[in-house]
């Protein structure tokens, strides 16, 4: 005759199922916390990078690119003392838009000989060279890298911005 109730094996199976379910919930919750902390960290780092770019722009205000240090670094003030920053300002070199040079014929003639574009007027070629030279001298890439340690490993986040000095002297005789 069977009495109502659960046997020991039924109770153990139920406890096992509950343990597996609770373990899965704890793992999911832990992953959720890790993702939230990572998102908070990246928001902080992005804000620090943006502030560093703004500070670099303030330092450059009223100066030419030649008057500004190309490399600088430092630490942030509290409460961000665990973060450091590095800033590099470098000249952008634009490519030769007129094609290959030095093959015995001008770039335009070489292109036409290979079945390419017709011969380019020397004046157009000169204007393109002057404009390319001007853009190279008047443009800079500013790269800011934020670094920190997380879980014993070095971490970093970099952002770049391009600046053009619209007051840069335009030299028509530049080669």
Residue 153 has pLDDT above 70, yes or no: yes
- Could you tell me the pLDDT band of residue 24, with boundaries at 50, 70 and 90? very high
pLDDT at 72: 93
Question: What mean pLDDT do residues 129-157 have?
Answer: 90
CA-to-CA distance for 70 and 90, rounded, in angstroms? 7
What integer pLDDT is reported at residue 129 of this predicted model? 84
Residue 107 is predicted with a pLDDT of 47
The arithmetic mean of pLDDT across residues 100-123, rounded, is 55
**pLDDT, mean over the chain:** 84
Model pTM above 0.75: no
Poorest-pLDDT segment among 2-11, 17-26, 33-42? 2-11
| Mean pLDDT (whole number) for 137-162 | 93
Quickly state the pLDDT bin for 25 (edges 50, 70, 90): very high
Please name every residue paired with 153 in a beta bridge, in sequence order, or none if there are none: 150
User: Can you tell me the distance from the alpha carbon of 66 to that of 91, in angstroms, rounded to the nearest whole number?
Assistant: 10
pLDDT at 117: 55
What's the pLDDT tens digit per position in 81-101?
999 999 999 988 888 777 655
Question: Which residues, in sequence order, are CB contacts of 9 under 8 Å at separation 6+?
Answer: none
Which residues, 6+ apart, have CB-to-CB distance to 141 below 8 Å?
89, 90, 92, 160, 161, 162, 163
Residue with the bigger pLDDT between 174 and 129: it is 129
- Quickly list DSSP for 122-167: HHHHHHHHHHHHHHHHHEEEEEEEEEEEETTEEEEEEEEEEEE-TT
Instruction: Give the number of C-alpha atoms closer than 13 A to the C-alpha of residue 62, restricted to the C-beta side.
Output: 2
Closest CA to 74 of 51, 57, 40, 90: 51
Q: Within its chain, how far is the Cα of 129 from the centroid?
A: 29
For residue 67, is it left (φ>0), alpha (ψ between -120 and 50) or beta? alpha
């Amino acid at each position: 005759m069977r009495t109502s109730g659960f046997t020991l094996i039924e109770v153990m199976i139920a406890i096992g199922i509950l343990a597996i379910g609770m373990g899965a919930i704890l793992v999911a919750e832990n992953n959720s916390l890790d993702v939230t902390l990572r998102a908070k960290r990246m928001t902080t780092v992005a804000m620090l990078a943006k502030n560093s770019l703004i500070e670099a722009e303030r330092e450059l205000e009223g100066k030419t690119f030649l008057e500004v240090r190309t490399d600088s670094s430092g630490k942030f003030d509290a409460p961000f003392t665990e973060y450091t920053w590095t800033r590099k300002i470098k000249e952008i070199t634009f490519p030769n838009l007129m094609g290959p040079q030095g093959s015995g014929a001008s770039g335009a003639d070489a292109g036409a000989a290979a079945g390419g574009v017709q011969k380019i007027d020397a004046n157009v070629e000169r204007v393109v060279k002057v404009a390319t030279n001007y853009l190279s001298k008047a443009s800079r890439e500013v790269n800011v890298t934020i670094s920190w340690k997380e879980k014993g490993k070095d971490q970093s986040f970099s952002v770049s911005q391009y600046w053009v000095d619209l007051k840069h002297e335009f030299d028509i005789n530049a080669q």
